Amino acid sequence: MDAVQAPMIPVIGEIIRRTPGTISLGQGVVHYGPPPAALDAARAALADRATHEYSDDAGVVPLIERVTAKLRAENGNRNRKSGLTTG
């Protein structure tokens, strides 16, 4: 059983507990629809073969880079790492 990866939800929960200021985006708000640009990007992604492949546990690097850039530019997130998980 040593080779079996731990479930991600408790792993991420532990990271959040150990990292003050972590913001979890794990729960959406159902009465707000996505912005039109997000819908357009989702439609484009469906046509990209890489969208349907498994990624490394560390995540999709270009996506993490874009989210990090957005958080820095729009949210003032300067001295923190960004991470994205499945789910």
* Cut 0.85: pTM above it: no
CA distance 25 to 71: 13
pLDDT at 87 exceeding the cut of 70 = no
Which pLDDT tens digit goes with each residue over 13-72? 888 889 888 777 776 656 677 889 999 999 999 999 888 888 777 777 888 888 888 888
Polymer length of the chain: 87
Angle at alpha carbon of residue 33, lines to 29 and 36, rounded to 5°? 140
- What's the N-to-C CA distance of the chain in angstroms? 24
CA distance 87 to 41: 19
19: closest CA among 83, 68, 65? 83
